[in-house]
Amino acid sequence: SSSSSSSLADGGTAGLVITNPPELFDKVVRVQDAEHKYYFVLTYIPDLRWCRVCPMMRSGHFEDGKVRWVLMPEGTGRELDVTSARCLPVHAVPKRQAEDADQEEWAIQDDTSPNNIARDLEKKRRIT
């Protein structure tokens, strides 16, 4: 039998909107309306646009004077499950190239302010 709309199971695209969600896994992000300034994306599921993020904290400075950011130790900061729509990637340079994020240190170059994060997220939504 023929149907006017095809299902996704048989390869149809009825009702499917294809966009290019940003690659967020292993990235440092700002999370809208969250307690901490920066979070590290531990888990990212693009199909669901869902992230599990871990808060970050300052941990001294690098020799060049930039702030050293690390993951908060387990039990000291609450990991969050958030939609990726609330996540704004920031430019962060891993300094140790560690296999385990718990051992990594980042230098973050971020020009967003808390006042601008909502605007920057809206701009990101229009692009994706």
Q: Minimal CA–CA distance to 83: which of 104, 60, 52?
A: 52
Residue with tokens 């400075």: 61
Are β-strands 106-109 and 91-94 bridged in parallel, bridged antiparallel, or unpaired? antiparallel
* The model scores a pTM over 0.85: no
Q: Please give the distance of CA 106 from its chain centroid, rounded to a whole number.
A: 15
pLDDT per residue as tens digits for the range 29-59: 999 999 999 999 999 998 899 999 999 999 9
Q: What is the pLDDT of residues 60-110, one digit of tens each?
A: 999 999 999 999 998 898 999 999 999 999 999 999 999 999 999 999 988
